[in-house]
Amino acid sequence: MSKKICVLPGDGIGPEIMAEAVRVLQALDLGFEMETALLGGAAVDATSNPYPEATQKLVQAADAILLGAVGGPQWDSLPREQRPERGLLGIRKQLGLFANLRPAILYPELANASSLKPEVVAGLDILIVRELTGDIYFGQPRGIEVREIDGQKQRFGFNTMHYSESEIRRILRVAFEAARKRNKKLCSVDKMNVLETTQLWRDIANELAPEYPDVELTHMLVDNAAMQLVRNPRQFDVMVTGNMFGDILSDEAAMLTGSIGMLPSASLDAKHKGLYEPSHGSAPDIAGKGVANPLATILSVAMMLRYTFALEEAAVKVENAVKKVLAQGYRTGDIHEPGTTRVGTRQMGDAVLAAL
Ligand code: IPM
Ligand code: MG
């Protein structure tokens, strides 16, 4: 098996947290080949393209991609094609990474980090399965144009929400399979009371359900799902939804844990090639200070070992090392509480290496 990993540190805290994840990967000594490339704002600065040719080549040749984070205020006013986010969307689309897995897990040691009452979130363990290459994110036509409306020339903004049957079916299958390996509850989230696209989504979920008799399928409208996530999040096991709703709900679910700095994610194609990245952003406000939490990126390494390389034992080893450093009381600033030991990015990496 070839084991090529493309490492994309990205922007903001990306390079700092990635350095620790790479050290963990090297310590496991699994014979991976790693190559680093530019993506996002760093790539815009160097080449004026957020997803340069050289990066595209490496990414396509790799079995897995590890990404830090992209974006920052200095690139926000650039034309849309040059924004760092374009790089990320470009990789997702080009590689067909349609299945985005975003776990939201509350570690018992971090129960106080949540803004919700501990009794509401204790033991929380949700997996959000978000479709990642379709929906209004990529739908054509799109744009901002001048049109004549009500007898007046004015600017007109438009995007298109669409899903084909096959796009919906493949992401639902990923979600059903994931539910099967967990608590066998799948909640499909849509807005069928208003949007036809999501009526189709619900119909297809119902059509597939008989193939997964061991999984209990329920449906929920997205506004209600947003409310239920803060009212009683533990009712959920696996949630599956489209690109746009998934973007929003996965941030909400991540924040339930109070520690977005702890949450990894995976974006997979049909053959287990994947891009792995922390769920948090590039945190420009703390970039370069050596205080960012590297654990979400380290846990992304664990997801990569599990999903792309089927190295379950190594994945568990990394996850257990992270649990151990939390039990030992090491905390970066984002999860620090009185009575625990505040450490920086590098020291947290050291602690994980020692715990491996
Ligand atoms: C995410 C991010 C991206 C998205 C942005 C950076 C384009 O918010 O991965 O959730 O909207 O998908
Ligand atoms: Mg998002």
Is the domain of 122 the same as that of 211? yes
The set of catalytic residues is 137, 191, 223, 247, 251
The boundaries of the domain holding residue 343 are 1-98+269-356
Q: pLDDT (tens digit, 0 to 9) for every residue of the chain, 356 residues total?
A: 569 999 999 999 999 999 999 999 999 999 999 999 999 999 999 999 999 999 999 999 999 999 999 999 999 999 988 999 888 999 999 999 999 999 999 998 898 888 899 899 999 999 999 999 999 999 999 999 999 999 999 999 999 999 999 999 999 999 999 999 999 999 999 999 999 999 999 999 999 999 999 999 999 999 999 999 999 999 999 999 999 999 999 999 988 988 888 999 999 999 999 999 999 899 999 999 999 999 999 999 999 999 999 999 999 999 999 999 999 999 999 999 999 999 999 999 999 999 99
For atom 2 of ligand 1, which residue has the closest CA? 247
Is the domain of 173 the same as that of 245? yes
For atom 7 of ligand 1, which residue has the closest CA? 85
Is the domain of 236 the same as that of 110? yes
Is the domain of 244 the same as that of 306? no
- Strand ranges inside 300-356, DSSP E: 330-331, 341-342
Q: Which atom of ligand 1 is nearest to the CA of 92?
A: 12
**Which of 208, 232, 262 marks a domain boundary?**
262
Is the domain of 209 the same as that of 253? yes
CATH of the domain at 297: 3.40.718.10
Neighbour count for residue 57 (Cβ, 10 Å): 13
Is the domain of 65 the same as that of 204? no
334, part of any domain:
yes
Pocket perturbation via mutation, ligand 1, pick of 89, 137, 247, 248 by most ligand atoms within 8 A of CB: 247
Q: Which atom of ligand 1 is nearest to the CA of 277?
A: 9
Residue 267 CA to residue 264 CA, distance in Å, equals 10
Q: Are 322 and 299 in contact (CB under 8 A)?
A: yes
Residues having CB within 6 Å of any atom of ligand 1: 85, 88-89, 247
Question: How many domains does the chain divide into?
Answer: 2
pTM: predicted TM-score of the whole model, two decimal places: 0.93
Is the domain of 189 the same as that of 275? no
Is the domain of 198 the same as that of 292? no
Residue 176 CA to residue 343 CA, distance in Å, equals 40
32, part of any domain:
yes
57, part of any domain:
yes
For atom 4 of ligand 1, which residue has the closest CA? 247
Secondary structure element (H or E) that encloses residue 7, with its range = strand 4-10
Residue 242 CA to residue 133 CA, distance in Å, equals 9
Is the domain of 213 the same as that of 108? yes
